[in-house]
Structure formats: C-alpha cells, structure tokens
C-alpha cells in the first residue's frame, strides 16, 4: 500500500488534491486505452467500436440514473444543463482550465496513446461523445449534446452545445444499441 503524506482528518493542500485526482484519472485513461486495444486487436475496428459504444453507453446510463435519482431525492429539477451540473459526480478540481490543452487528464494520456497508436484517436474522442451525450440525454430526458471541439484533436478546451431533441423526448438516445 502506498504512503499517504497527509492526514485523512486534515485539510489537503490544493496542489496535492489536484495531483491525486489527476493520478486517479490517469489510471482510468490508461485502463480505457488498454480495454479498447484488446477489443481492437481481437475483433477489429468495427466490432470494437460497437462493444466500446455499448460499454460506455451502459456506464453513462447507470451514472446518470444515479445522478437523476439523487437530484429527485433532494428536490432538485432535472430539466437543464445547470441542474445536471449542480449534482455532477466528476472531481473537477483535477481539470484545470488554465492548463489549456492539458486541462483534461484523460486528454493528456489519450493524446500520448494516439501518437503511438493513431487508430486510438477515434476511440478516445468516442468516449467523450458517448458518455457526455448519454448522461445529459438520460438525466434530462429531453436534451441532447454534441462536442464541437475536443482537446484530443485540437484547441485548448473542449467545447460543446446542448439542444432540445425530439428523439430523446421519445426515449431514443443517440448511442443506444440498435
């Protein structure tokens, strides 16, 4: 077991907190890459992409079900992006906007893997597309989402837009299985 140089009961310095969050995010980003690589090497691009879509979609539904239920229990609305963000379950202290393209700890790792394995870039951005779109669709039951800029490909921040979706209102989610 690793050594922890701060007390559980005490206050954690922001630098240490950010470091710890980013280390955990690094582990996740590496796991996602290796999960995808095994599927890609075993089944090829198309089958791997479908399996990844299903796994990430299922995670997003599970995650947003929990967020929606918590919001309802707390008497909060589930109609808007602001409602979603009020109960978000991400440790945003590890995402540092001032770090530009490196603000996202997943993006840092996934860009490195994409340089060595160019085929992975598509899967790296696919994760963001599926998880972010599905969570807002399932949480609000009427909004959808698209990423318009992703730091894995370009820019110093990830940009997105949310919009009303008739399909989502009918329970048809963008990345649901066929």
What would the pLDDT profile of 102-125 be if each residue is shown by its tens digit?
999 999 999 999 999 999 999 999
34 within domain boundaries: yes
pLDDT for 3 equals 52
Domain hosting residue 86, numbered range: 14-169
pLDDT higher than 90, residue 72: yes
Q: What is the DSSP string of the chain?
A: -----S-SSSPPPHHHHHHHHHHHHHHHHHHHHHHHHHHHHHH-HHHHHHHHHHHHHHHHHHHHHHHHHHHHHTT---SSHHHHHHT--S-GGG--GGGGGGSSHHHHHHHHHHHH-TTHHHHHHHHHHHHHHHHHHHHHSSEEEEEEE-TTTSSSS-EEEEEE-HHHHTT--TT---
Residue 87 lies in a domain: yes
Mean pLDDT of 119-145: 97
Q: Provide the percentage of residues in the chain whose pLDDT is more than 90.
A: 87
* Residue 33 belongs to some domain of the structure: yes
| 32 lies in some domain | yes
* Domain presence at residue 176: no
Global pTM? Answer: 0.91
Average pLDDT over residues 69-87: 96
Whether pLDDT at 5 is above 80: no
Q: How confident is the model over 151-177, as pLDDT tens digits? A: 999 999 999 999 999 999 999 999 998
Structural domain count, the chain = 1
């Amino acid at each position: 077991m690793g050594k922890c140089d701060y007390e559980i009961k005490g206050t954690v310095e922001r630098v240490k907190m950010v470091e710890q969050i980013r280390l955990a995010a690094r582990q996740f980003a590496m796991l996602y890459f290796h999960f995808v690589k095994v599927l890609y090497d075993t089944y090829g691009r198309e089958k791997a992409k479908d399996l990844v879509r299903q796994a990430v979609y299922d995670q997003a539904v599970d995650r947003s079900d929990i967020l929606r239920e918590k919001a309802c229990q707390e008497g909060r609305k589930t109609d808007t992006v602001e409602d979603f963000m009020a109960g978000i379950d991400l440790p945003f202290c590890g995402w540092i906007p001032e770090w530009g393209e490196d603000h996202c700890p997943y993006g840092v790792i996934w860009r490195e893997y994409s340089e060595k394995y160019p085929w992975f870039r598509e899967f790296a951005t696919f994760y963001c597309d599926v998880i972010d779109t599905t969570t807002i669709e399932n949480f609000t039951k009427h909004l959808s989402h698209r990423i318009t800029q992703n730091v894995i490909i370009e820019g110093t921040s990830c940009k997105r837009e949310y919009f009303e979706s008739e399909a989502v209102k009918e329970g048809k989610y963008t990345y649901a299985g066929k």
